[in-house]
Amino acid sequence: MYISEIIVALVATIFFSKYKHLPIKTILYILWIAVITESMAKIYSHYYHNNHWAYNLYAFLFYILFYKMVYDHIENTTRKRIVTWLSTAMIIAIIIRAFTVPVVTHYMSIIYNIAMILLVVLLMYYAIDRLKSDAPLRLKNQLELFVFSGYLLFGVSFIPLSPFIVGQMDFQYSRELLNTLRAVQTFSLVVTNIILVFGFIWTDPKKVPAYKM
């Protein structure tokens, strides 16, 4: 999983010139934040037992950036307003929750699971917006379709599995089952990264039209 995160971040950097002028460029920041966080967490856990603060910080930054990225790709004014209100309410909820738990040693799994559910909802709003748009659908020119599809896949698999993996469910289950669930989640993330890598390499995002005097 860690290796796939590094690969997709490097590929996104190599092909950054393709999409640096488009709102989808935010994905590059998200990918590198993930790599840096994972690296910091590994190093920190080598000296200290608990590294939950790193993942709390990463999740907070991830949702802010991803919600904004979805907002930037929605055209309809009403849907943009809905996305704004939902995203703002979620970020405020995360901040409030952070004041009620020891964020340095406790991962805020429940609130971030809710944030992932909202991410899937926002991607549905984007899908509706795209389907109702008069603009032609050209996969070759729309990197965002690959990015959003990849994260939608991960979100749909993450939501039902996460409560088991982080121990939210109030019953005992075997280590074998836990390992299986983690393997499924890891596989989902790797597939997501493969979709992103393909999108970065294969697509040729459209250029922003030059301003005419």
The amino acid that residue 168 corresponds to is Q
Per-residue model confidence (pLDDT) at position 58: 94
184-204 pLDDT, tens digit per residue, is 888 889 999 999 999 999 999
Q: In whole angstroms, what is the distance from residue 117 CA to residue 109 CA?
A: 12
Per-residue model confidence (pLDDT) at position 123: 96
Mean pLDDT of 78-104: 94
Q: Is the pLDDT of residue 213 over 50?
A: no
Q: In whole angstroms, what is the distance from residue 164 CA to residue 108 CA?
A: 14
pTM (predicted TM-score): 0.89
In 3D space, the residue among 6, 27, 31 whose CA is nearest the CA of residue 18 turns out to be 27
Per-residue model confidence (pLDDT) at position 65: 97
Per-residue model confidence (pLDDT) at position 170: 46
Other CB atoms within a 10 A radius of the CB of residue 45 amount to 13
* pLDDT interval class at 210 (50, 70, 90): very low
131-183 pLDDT, tens digit per residue, is 998 888 888 999 999 999 999 999 998 887 776 665 544 455 667 777 777 78
Percent of the chain exceeding pLDDT 70 equals: 89
Per-residue model confidence (pLDDT) at position 164: 66
Is residue 189 exposed (0-12), middle (13-18) or buried (19+ Cβ within 10 Å)? buried
Percent of the chain exceeding pLDDT 90 equals: 62
Greater confidence (48 vs 104) lies with 104
